[in-house]
Amino acid sequence: MVKYTQKGKMAPKGYSKIQSNYTFLLGDLEPTSICFALFQEHLFDQNDIEKVTSKAGTKEQNNQILTILLERSGHNSYEKFIDVLKNLNYDHAVEILESECSDDSDESGFIEFNEGRKEKQEKKSSLARFKEAILHRGTPNVAFKAKDADITRLKQEREAKIRESKRLESKARDEEIARLKQEQESKRLSKVIDELQETQKKQWKQIIDYEAMLNSTPSMERNTESIKCNQCLHTVAHGSDLLNIPGVGALEKSTVTVFGAEGVLKQKFINETDDIFDVYTTSKADIKVTSNRIGHPKYVWYDIGYDWSYMHCKGKECKNQIGWKYQKNGDTPFYGLIDANVTD
Ligand SMILES: [Zn+2]
């Protein structure tokens, strides 16, 4: 059964919608494909196709012809036109055309195309152009100014938010820094405490070592062997006077049998002018004390706090340096004898 193309005027409702969105439709539609689709729907005939697909016309002009022909393609041509647009995925165009429909329904419930409506349609038409201008052309107008004002306001709000957020961040950072400083100070203090405790431990250990050494005084078997000045043979001390005092700054420590005593502590020290000495320690010494000095902090031989004095031989005309006398806070002194300067 052959279906003939329908002719006659489009229903006013559809016509007004096309009219309202005329500019948009001229610019947006692809006339040839729509024309063929309308032919398939029996709205257009061969003549119509020829008119619309004229190579001489621009897209807008061909669309203009298409809409003119569409208006004459029967009462339901608008609804069919919408179906065609849907089939061809003109979702945006359908949305625009149909949104006009819902507006009208809300206002009046139905559309009646009459003179009273014309004024409204004209308004709508200008609204549609305005909308179209915003959507597709970007023509500067009042709407854009309003939009600019909105954008400026939003930007200001955003900047205010950023400022506030930065302020809060900076406050949080300051607090964090203060906290870290406190933490650091607390760590530093606990380190100082640890160091002090460590020093105290070392001092305690020295005292313990010292006491242990005192208890382990060399075995002397009541030896009367003399320790003499190697220059004039003046007797400086005896093997029984040897007393092991361990030094903190000794380069080497060894125990030797010397002056008739076993287990005598012999220690190697270096002074600030790089002279090296092997030293024995005694509780007594017959010597001459010369100048007094306070221990050099970098060359502590025995312990911090010992003052020391040079000691020389008491022998007549002898100027041999025998060693040093050590004393702390007026306590009992001890004597360091230079191995190289004494003999048995
Ligand atoms: Zn001497």
In tens, the pLDDT along 103-152 reads 444 444 444 445 555 555 665 566 666 555 555 544 445 555 667 778 88
121 Cα–ligand 1 center, Å: 135
CATH (domain of 252): 2.170.150.20
- Per-residue pLDDT of 158-209, as tens digits, reads 889 999 988 998 888 899 999 999 999 889 988 988 888 888 888 777 777 7
Is pLDDT above 50 for 341?
yes
Specify whether 251 is located in the same domain as 183: no
CA dihedral of residues 43, 49, 51, 57 (deg, nearest 10) = 120
User: What spacing in Å lies between the alpha carbon of 270 and ligand 1's midpoint?
Assistant: 23
pLDDT for 110 equals 42
Distance 285 CA to ligand 1 centre (A): 13
Same domain, 26 and 61: yes
H or E element at residue 228: strand 226-229
In the chain, the number of structural domains is 3
pLDDT per residue as tens digits for the range 21-64: 888 888 888 888 888 888 888 888 888 888 888 777 888 888 88
Region 288-315: mean pLDDT is: 81
Q: Let me know whether 167 and 135 are in one domain.
A: no
Q: What is the pLDDT of residues 197-209, one digit of tens each?
A: 888 888 777 777 7
Whether residue 334 has pLDDT greater than 90: yes
Q: What is the pLDDT of residue 131?
A: 58
State the pLDDT at residue 237: 95
CA-CA distance, 311 to 326, in Å (whole number)? 10
Look at residue 200 in the predicted model and tell me its pLDDT. 82
For residue 300, count CB atoms less than 10 angstroms from its CB and return exposed for 0-12, middle for 13-18, buried for 19 or more: middle
| Same domain for 231 and 203 | no
Task: Assign 336 a pLDDT band (cuts: 50, 70, 90).
Answer: very high
Q: Distance from the CA of 235 to the center of ligand 1, in angstroms?
A: 8
| Structure-token pair, residue 89 | 């995925």
Distance 101 CA to ligand 1 centre (A): 131
pLDDT, average across residues 318-328 = 92
pLDDT tens profile 241-253: 998 888 888 889 9
- Does residue 38 lie in a domain region? yes
Question: Among 112, 139, 166, where does a domain finish?
Answer: 139
Give this prediction's pTM: 0.40
Q: Are residues 44 and 110 in the same domain?
A: yes
Residue type, 63: N
- What pLDDT is recorded for position 113? 46
Task: Report the C-alpha gap between 155 and 255 in whole angstroms.
Answer: 87
Q: What is the pLDDT of residue 121?
A: 60
* In a shared domain, residues 233 and 209: no
Out of 183, 215, 247, a domain closes at: 215
The reply to whether 134 falls in a domain is yes
How much distance in Å is there from the Cα of 287 to the middle of ligand 1?
Answer: 9
Structural domain harbouring 203: 153-215
Q: Tell how far the Cα of 213 is from the centroid of ligand 1, in angstroms.
A: 29
What spacing in Å lies between the alpha carbon of 337 and ligand 1's midpoint? Answer: 13
Distance 316 CA to ligand 1 centre (A): 7
Task: Measure 319 CA to ligand 1 centroid, in angstroms.
Answer: 6
More confidently predicted of 151 and 298: 151
Inside any domain, residue 4: no
CA of residue 114 to ligand 1 center, whole Å = 145
Average model confidence (pLDDT) for the chain?
81
In this structure, is residue 100 part of a structural domain? yes
Same domain? For 135 and 33 the reply is yes
Tokens 């930065």 found at: 166
Do 131 and 47 sit in the same domain of this protein?
Answer: yes
